[in-house]
Structure 1
Amino acid sequence: MSSPTKPEPTCLIMSLPDEVVVDIIARVSTRFHPSISAVCRRFRSLVASPELYKARRSLLGCNEHRLYVILQSFGENSETRVYNLRRKPDGGHRLVLVSSLPAMPHEASFVVDGSRIHVFGGFSLYDRRERNALSIDCRYHTVQPLPTMPKRMIGTPLAHVMDGKIYVFGYTNYYNKVTAVFNTLTQTWEPEMTKPRIELRHVLNGPDGYVNSIVYDGTKETKWETEWMLKFNKWKSVCVIDDVFYSYDCLYNKLKAYDTKLRCWSEVKGVKTLLPTNKSLVWWPRVVNYGGSLLFLYQKRICRIEEHWCAEIALERRQDGEIWGKVEWSDVVIVGDFCLIESLVATF
């Protein structure tokens, strides 16, 4: 007699409610999400669900941070491309070109909002007209156009995210300053400011590289007030971590912190061995908030070879008020003739 055929085992996870499956996927690293999406149509829909990233992963403390760097190559076929920081098999780090993303407009403004990078203004080498606004989905490395900006802006505009809106400051000509507001929830441009007065309290990195604090007054005509918070014009990129401003001082070759309560600058201790002994070697320095840690990016030339370095620094405020840094790692992440345009950290 033939033995009865055993029923094939069923996949228990397929019988679970969607909210339970989302809770399970939320605990899995995002690098495995493409594989999960390939299992079936249901999983693909759940992985793409906003609920997974905006609610569950954030609530569970499973959010991951990814560094994206905008580099412009030099030469006849100059392009501005997007690179992603990845870990190498040997434990090191490197910047890898995101080949699925097209070349970015030159002199555009880049601003990150969660898992998306928004691009405003700029032009291509083959078309001097201003480009429409773009949005890059860092989860899938895809790009899609946004509604056309209501006002044309020349040069590099200045963009800042606050309360679910992106404020884009720029010029229609060399004298007329304008402001446009993009609502990230409705994905539309607002015709005017919804509040009579809005102050951008965070530090903004202007197109000239200096640090500006800009105030918009909607009750009258557009009002720009520029506050030069830094004593030396050698200060460049600034990032904010726990209400402390961090910047690299090109003049004295030091990493410094600005306490907003004490209103004074101080040196970050414990990172002297990280910085090159010759300050003239440091080019295009940038600092960025990497989930509470500090990423320090810079370029240096050694025997005509352009090396781009990146270091992660853990920060600690001690009882005496001093801020100390601990270098977690420091690597050459890419070699080549590039100009560092922007560094952004996406969270998802």
Structure 2
Amino acid sequence: MSSLFSLPDDVVLNCLVRVPERCYGNISCVSKRLRSLVLSPELHRLRSLLYKDSIYLYCFNKERVSFQWFTLCRSEETTTDQYQLVPLALPSCKMISSSSTVVVGSKIYFIGGYFTPLSVIRILDTRSGKLTRGPSMNVACTHETAAVGVVDRNIYVIRRCFGEDENQVVEVFDPDHSQTWEFASEEIVQSLEKKVHAMDFGVDRIGGFYKLREGRLRKTMERKGDRPICVCVVESVLFAYFRTGGLMWFDTKLNAWTRLVTSDEVLTLEGEFCNVVMSKYDGKLAVFWPGYEIIGYMKE
């Protein structure tokens, strides 16, 4: 280990980038220098160049009274499929804590939120570790959330503007070429089958999708009397977590929601678990919800 300490930082980083993330916890305990390198944005940038499926979790730390980034990796203490959260040294910003988020390549896009108008977006480059402000959308709406989806690397945002003439506004952003917002002919959204699917927070609890070829929003996926908390697409299957219905998947052929059932259990997260978040990870559905500690569930 003494020979490792004599090497320059860039050489050590190139060694660490080839070590599984599940080992970083132990490595960071060896010395202050290694801990600093493990948490450094440069190591995270180098790892982001490797092809992999990653989850980034942004959490509020009550002890530090601040927000903190984590990434998910397999636990080194067991041979089973158990995971642990590893802290990351990425920028912390209160403004993005309640934004709609979407990922294109190595960048995470934060659109609107409770603390910013909906026309504002922020972009986190996971390779460089830099958080920047992106180009504003054309129309500023007063509602705090927006339906956001990615189709063919283009970002679609569906918003409802409130006023004398209440209507739906759809804008599209091309991050690879024009990098500008253009108009396209209370929601959460995921992309599926060349459509942008949205779940409405309104009284009717109706979902819908924005069909790209037709350039219009169609209503479908009705589930009255229940409120969607979050949605996620895994292997072309649309999942949603409802406040009372729990975790369900949508059958596009039957146009109906079905509770997720296995031979052993029905997965529902009861009562106060109203801040559930879901994400695709390594072909599985990862579900997180708050408790005395961050709790997670991985579903094939």
Fold conserved between structures, TM > 0.5: yes
C-alpha distance 267-131 of structure 1, shift in aligned 2 (>3 A): closer
Check whether the contact 1:132–1:146 (CA below 8 A) recurs between aligned residues: yes
Out of 181, 198, 209, the residue aligned to residue 204 of structure 1 is 198
Q: Deviations over 1:120-155 (max 9, x none)?
A: 22364xxx6667422112234322332233332322
Out of 145, 151, 159, the residue aligned to residue 162 of structure 1 is 151
Cα RMSD between the aligned structures?
A: 4.3
In structure 1, runs of 5+ residues without a counterpart are 1-24, 39-43, 58-62, 301-305, 315-348
CA distance in 1, matches of 2:89, 2:208: 36
Q: Does residue 244 of structure 1 match 2:243?
A: no
Q: Percentage identity across aligned positions?
A: 18
C-alpha distance 292-166 of structure 1, shift in aligned 2 (>3 A): same
Which amino acid in 2 is paired with 1:170?
Answer: R
CA distance in 2, matches of 1:206, 1:80: 28
Check whether the contact 1:201–1:213 (CA below 8 A) recurs between aligned residues: no
Q: Which has the larger radius of gyration?
A: 1
Question: SS at 1:150's partner residue?
Answer: coil
Q: Does residue 261 of structure 1 match 2:219?
A: no
Out of 224, 227, 233, the residue aligned to residue 220 of structure 2 is 227
Q: Which residue of 2 aligns with 1:149?
A: 137
C-alpha distance 104-118 of structure 1, shift in aligned 2 (>3 A): farther
CA distance in 2, matches of 1:122, 1:141: 21
CA distance in 1, matches of 2:216, 2:104: 25
Question: SS at 1:118's partner residue?
Answer: strand
Check whether the contact 1:200–1:213 (CA below 8 A) recurs between aligned residues: no
Which amino acid in 2 is paired with 1:162?
Answer: V
Question: SS at 2:59's partner residue?
Answer: strand
TM-score (norm 1): 0.56
In structure 2, runs of 5+ residues without a counterpart are 1-14, 24-33, 186-192
Q: CA deviation at 1:113?
A: 1.6
CA distance in 1, matches of 2:156, 2:230: 19
Out of 116, 122, 134, the residue aligned to residue 107 of structure 2 is 116
Which amino acid in 2 is paired with 1:83?
Answer: F
Question: Could you say which structure has the greater relative contact order, defined with CA pairs below 8 angstroms and 6 or more residues apart?
Answer: 1
Q: Which residue of 2 aligns with 1:334?
A: none
Q: Which residue of 1 aligns with 2:209?
A: 214
Q: Which residue of 1 aligns with 2:277?
A: 286
C-alpha distance 240-234 of structure 1, shift in aligned 2 (>3 A): same
Aligned length: 249
Q: Which residue of 1 aligns with 2:77?
A: 90
Check whether the contact 1:206–1:212 (CA below 8 A) recurs between aligned residues: yes
Q: CA deviation at 1:269?
A: 0.7
Question: SS at 1:148's partner residue?
Answer: coil
C-alpha distance 285-79 of structure 1, shift in aligned 2 (>3 A): same
TM-score (norm 2): 0.63
Check whether the contact 2:119–2:141 (CA below 8 A) recurs between aligned residues: no
C-alpha distance 29-118 of structure 1, shift in aligned 2 (>3 A): farther
Q: CA deviation at 1:282?
A: 3.6
Q: CA deviation at 1:161?
A: 0.9
Q: CA deviation at 1:164?
A: 1.9
Which amino acid in 2 is paired with 1:119?
Answer: F
CA distance in 2, matches of 1:236, 1:166: 21
CA distance in 2, matches of 1:208, 1:94: 36
